[in-house]
């Protein structure tokens, strides 16, 4: 009989722990408009040391804002410098489930891969691209990604095959405030 009573008490304690645990998690996770600040202050010391997750856990916060501009060259025509992502970014703001978000993400990721190559080449914001080190750039992470980005945007925006293109990145380091532009050598897509 005593063993059964102990199991019942352990079961009730486990149930109570689960109810309190999930209550604290829910109170902590709710927005301030739903969860009372005094309840949140009570739940925070329980949740934050172990259970809190920030977005930094999934990916580091970007420290450089980048804007891409491309000048497309077609067989008989060319364009002015244009940001191929502007339209997609605007449409993504109200069409969240569409493919426009993927285009914006591709542009953002493109700078990430380029930054790895620029670090390898010891190029910082505002430096000229070292054309004497093109072989290293071709073997890097970003060359083919940039080539595919140019080719895809040429078809998407102009419904034409791109023969070649110039691409430049406007960069702003949000930590140091340093700004600059880097123009890559011409990409030939034949």
The DSSP bridge partners found for residue 164 are 73, 188
Sign of CA dihedral 149, 151, 156, 158: positive
Domain borders along the chain are 2-52, 57-188
CA dihedral 153, 156, 162, 167 (to 10 degrees): -20
Cα separation, 70 vs 73, in Å, equals 10
Alpha carbon distance, N-terminus to C-terminus of the chain: 85
pLDDT at position 1 is: 64
Residue 112, number of CB atoms within 10 A of its CB = 15
Q: Among 76, 25, 78, 80, which Cα is nearest to 51's?
A: 25
Give the predicted TM-score (pTM) of the model: 0.66
Q: Among 87, 73, 97, which Cα is nearest to 156's?
A: 87
Cα separation, 173 vs 118, in Å, equals 14
pLDDT at position 181 is: 93
41 Cβ contact partners less than 8 Å away, ≥ 6 residues apart = none
* Per-residue model confidence as pLDDT tens for the chain (190 residues): 678 888 899 999 999 999 999 998 888 888 777 778 888 888 888 888 777 766 555 666 677 888 999 999 999 999 999 999 998 888 888 888 888 888 888 888 898 899 889 999 999 888 889 999 999 999 989 999 999 999 999 998 899 999 999 999 998 888 888 899 999 999 998 7
pLDDT at position 105 is: 86
Cα separation, 157 vs 84, in Å, equals 8
pLDDT at position 142 is: 92
The DSSP bridge partners found for residue 167 are 70
């Amino acid at each position: 009989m005593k063993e059964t009573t102990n199991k019942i008490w352990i079961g009730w304690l486990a149930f109570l722990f689960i109810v309190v645990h999930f209550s604290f998690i829910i109170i902590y996770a709710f927005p301030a408009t739903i969860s009372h600040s005094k309840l949140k202050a009570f739940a925070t010391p329980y949740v934050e040391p172990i259970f809190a997750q920030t977005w930094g856990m999934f990916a580091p916060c970007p420290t450089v804002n980048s804007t891409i501009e491309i000048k497309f060259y077609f067989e008989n025509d060319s364009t002015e410098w244009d940001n191929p992502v502007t339209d997609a970014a605007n449409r993504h703001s109200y069409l969240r489930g569409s493919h426009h978000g993927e285009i914006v993400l591709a542009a953002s990721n493109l700078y990430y891969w380029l930054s790895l190559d620029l670090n390898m080449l010891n190029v910082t914001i505002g430096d000229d691209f070292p054309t004497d080190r093109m072989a290293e750039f071709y073997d890097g992470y970003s060359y083919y990604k940039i080539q595919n980005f140019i080719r895809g945007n040429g078809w998407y925006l102009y419904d034409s095959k791109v023969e070649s293109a110039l691409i430049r990145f406007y960069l702003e380091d949000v930590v140091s405030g340093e700004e600059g532009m880097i123009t890559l050598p011409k990409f030939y897509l034949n």
